[in-house]
A and B are shown apart, each in its own frame.
Chain A
């Protein structure tokens, strides 16, 4: 009797899940197990290609996946269980949505026959996450699992990136099916634009070259679109001034004299004044966020605006633009450079020289100066020293608040993907898990987490994860015993009524770090800052928690108060 041809063997949904990750080239998953994902964890256990990192809280898993994605430009992956696993992940998912981070989050779900029955650890994950995902899926049949996962990675990483949630009921991970991973995916309802419209590009360039007071304003789209080289070439070719948003820092080298620093609420005087007086604003991969524009009525009153963005919905959302270009920023910039070279028209050098003269006058105000002789540690000085000692080359994460602004102002990023923070959602607690993700992506690089004593406590449990995986992160805690940014607003706008902004009953961070098996240092004198940082940076294989006791009264300057225009800054 002849043998029948070998039939492809069916494998379980859990095994399909793992095979899909392998096919996608996923090398690391951040997660936390639970009942609904036990089959998946068993399948992960029985293979070696995909590493799983056990965090201490699901929020940490998603933030770590974000940190991994933001530093490496790869898609981050997180895995959580149903119910509380999924709800704990929501903050991270919303954070990734606001900052357009490519992420696929897998959540377990109760078995299909129990969905809707208020089963143990059941929550409507697809419903809860719908407003803060690029897309989400509930997989009801194992036959759809591989295609759905393929779609999830495709949607998360193309166009304007964002988080995609795939909710997988437990029975689907037990059912079997023949595994076949689709080579390509086509979705009739999803076709992101890549190349910009040629006519619009020419029109934009004519406007750009006619400018007397041009200004480039670029954002996180440059980082996500891997366009910083093209942007740098384009900007240098034009000789125009440039500012970056909080999310766009590193998109253009901060050490280049054409760079005016960050703009916005705590941006530099020269960047905001140049924004106010520019006659042609060139916005690339930026979204005219309210922290950037200040009072929208007073925003760029003299400017014609060119806006390049991959997301058509970002164009003319907050500010009406004159020449919109929908497309990926990298190819659009490349085409602009090519066009520029073939055009006869050149920038108006005389007007440009006068514009630069004006800008230099603004720059001479030295708006970021601080008292460097202070007998109390100034937080700005700590960041500045960190910048000097790491040669401006570390990966720096931050949490949210004053320290975030000081990190953005005083660590001068010359490269993209080195500055990792939560811009859109403004999530306290991201700094440490972001740093974990970045350190996993770049095990040999220096990763520093600039944080404050309030933010760090929001994901402090991840110190345990850092011990388990020997992550040599340097935590730079700017400890002013206050929710600094809240305190600053209360000082300015609530006559100094410091409601709930004082951080009482702080732990001894040195002992805390030590109890997690790390090195802790407490630094109280300005003269000890540099030495402590040097010592910490030299410990290549240890996490060091540097607790800097800083000036409690220090405020972030300059500042555009709410409702004011960009030319109405409070300087020191």
Chain B
């Protein structure tokens, strides 16, 4: 089953490689991994999307908790939560009709065109991974030059919170 695990870890050199090294050394799967400092500069927040049986997920959370740099951990999948991913797509829009169609699709998907050049648009889109997949699917008649996706980040709904 797919799980989204969020961690607070010490914002120190090497912390990221301890986590990624753990996954590769023990043969755990990483679908995506995002990390950035938090409002507390001594902490980073990492979101890992992984797959595995309940036993594997239990081991993953235990092994992560065992890392000295991991301060707190939450398996968001066990709570009501919101997950989001951001994507930017660069497409060729040399003809007027293409520009119109691109604008229309972007509006339907509630995205934004954030860069315009003579022949290209960059569309920015945020949402669940499946929505981003659908948008790419909708662009099948376009020449897609580049796709960049952030990987998943998530937060629990309501009172549940990952903090110190």
Contact = CB atoms under 8 A, between A and B. Distances in A.
| A and B from one complex | yes
A468 interface: no
A312 interface: yes
B68 A189 contact: yes
Given A127-B17, A130-B17, A316-B58, A135 B68 contact: yes
Which residue among A130, A134, A313, A317 has the maximum number of chain B CB atoms within 10 Å of its CB?
Answer: A313
A131 B20 CA distance: 11
Could you say which interface size class chain A belongs to? 10 to 19
B71 A188 contact: yes
Contacts of B63: 313
Interface in A290-342: 311-313, 316-317, 320
A320 B14 CA distance: 33
B138 to A, nearest CB: 44
A126 interface: yes
B80 interface: no
B18 A130 contact: yes
Nearest to B63: A313
A143 interface: no
Nearest to A159: B66
B62 interface: yes
A311 B63 CA distance: 10
B161 interface: no
Interface in B57-112: 58-59, 62-63, 65-66, 68-71
Nearest to A132: B25
Contacts of A189: 9-10, 68-71
A131 B63 CA distance: 12
Given A135-B68, A313-B62, A317-B59, A188 B17 contact: no
A320 B13 CA distance: 36
A130 B66 contact: no
Interface in A117-132: 126-127, 130-131
B114 interface: no
B164 A316 contact: no
A130 B18 CA distance: 7
Nearest to B24: A131
A155 B68 contact: yes
A313 to B, nearest CB: 4
B37 interface: no
A138 interface: yes
B65 A312 contact: yes
A187 interface: yes
A32 to B, nearest CB: 26
B85 to A, nearest CB: 28
A311 B67 CA distance: 12
A130 B23 CA distance: 13
Contacts of B137: none
Contacts of B58: 316
Nearest to A314: B62
B69 A188 contact: no
B56 to A, nearest CB: 10
A493 interface: no
Nearest to B10: A189
Nearest to A155: B68
B18 A312 contact: no
Interface in B31-68: 55, 58-59, 62-63, 65-66, 68
Nearest to A190: B68
Contacts of A134: 68
A150 to B, nearest CB: 14
A130 B71 CA distance: 18
Contacts of B17: 127, 130
A317 B63 CA distance: 10
B21 to A, nearest CB: 6
Nearest to A317: B59
A320 B18 contact: no
B46 to A, nearest CB: 13
Interface string A128-149: 0011001100100000000000
B139 to A, nearest CB: 41
B5 to A, nearest CB: 15
Given A127-B17, A130-B21, A188 B68 contact: no
Given A126-B14, A130-B18, A320-B55, A313 B70 contact: no
A138 B65 contact: no
Contacts of A130: 14, 17-18, 21
Contacts of B10: 189
B67 to A, nearest CB: 8
A354 to B, nearest CB: 35
Contact of B55 (A138, A313, A316): A316
Which residue among B25, B62, B71 has the maximum number of chain A CB atoms within 10 Å of its CB?
Answer: B62
Nearest to B26: A131
Interface string A168-196: 00000000000000000001111000000
Contacts of A188: 71, 164
Q: Enumerate the 9 nearest inter-chain pairs by beta-carbon distance, A residue then B residue, closest first.
A: A313-B62, A189-B71, A135-B68, A131-B25, A313-B66, A190-B68, A312-B62, A313-B63, A130-B21
Interface of A: 126-127, 130-131, 134-135, 138, 155, 187-190, 311-313, 316-317, 320
10 contacts: A127-B17, A130-B18, A131-B25, A135-B68, A138-B14, A188-B164, A189-B70, A190-B68, A313-B65, A313-B66
Given A189-B70, A190-B68, A320-B55, 20 more contacts: A130-B18, A130-B21, A131-B21, A135-B68, A138-B14, A155-B68, A188-B71, A188-B164, A189-B68, A189-B69, A189-B71, A311-B66, A312-B62, A313-B59, A313-B62, A313-B63, A313-B65, A313-B66, A316-B55, A316-B58
